[in-house]
Amino acid sequence: MKIYTRTGDAGETALFGGGRVSKDHHRVAAYGMIDELNATVGVAVGQVADAGIASQLRMVQHDLFALGAILATLPREDGTPHPHVPEMPRARIDEMEVWMDEAETELPPLRQFVLPGGTSGSAALHLARTVCRRAERAVVHLGTLEAIEDDLVPYLNRLSDLLFTLARLDNRRADVPDVTWEK
């Protein structure tokens, strides 16, 4: 199979499960930002030194691929799930909270604003966090225009918190202080 199809040369793209829309459609923007987020998480996986953090991030990458597939599929008119679309990873929302709670036991209390930086892994995680927030805004916007899965926004909201926490944890485990904002 060739990687290029030429079917998008006129500025349209196919949605998963059927249908075509303009490449600047709000749905395409939302799943495109999820794809960008997944790529930045992949960069972070390559930068973090801690195998436990990397393992959690790899799980998140699989989740994000599922979220992208969900967003790339028009909902069925009768509300039933599309048979070829993966399920929303709802349980991961609670699992991310557990990961953050565990990480907080190693971290000093937050008393100042933290700037992106420290280790290269921490900086990559902060970048992923900002891309996550942008993806979240795109999904929220899509939800104002069309029906979306209930847990998409909570998942992304929790993920941005996790990425922040893991950035601090990567610094801590490398014995590198967080970069704090000086007023």
> Percent of the chain having pLDDT more than 70?
97
Q: Residue 141, Cα to own-chain centre: how many angstroms?
A: 16
Q: What is the pLDDT along the chain (183 residues), one digit of tens a residue?
A: 788 877 677 787 777 777 777 677 898 999 999 999 999 999 999 999 999 999 999 999 999 999 999 999 887 777 666 777 888 889 999 999 999 999 999 999 988 999 999 999 999 999 999 999 999 999 999 999 998 889 999 999 999 999 999 999 999 999 999 989 988
12-107+115-174: CATH topology = Hypothetical Protein Ta1238; Chain: A; (1.20.1200)
Cα atoms in the Cβ-side hemisphere of radius 13 Å centred on 45? 15
For residue 14, give the 3-state DSSP assignment: strand
Per DSSP, helices labelled H in the chain are 26-47, 51-71, 91-104, 120-145, 152-173
Enclosing H/E stretch for 73: none
Domain borders along the chain are 12-107+115-174
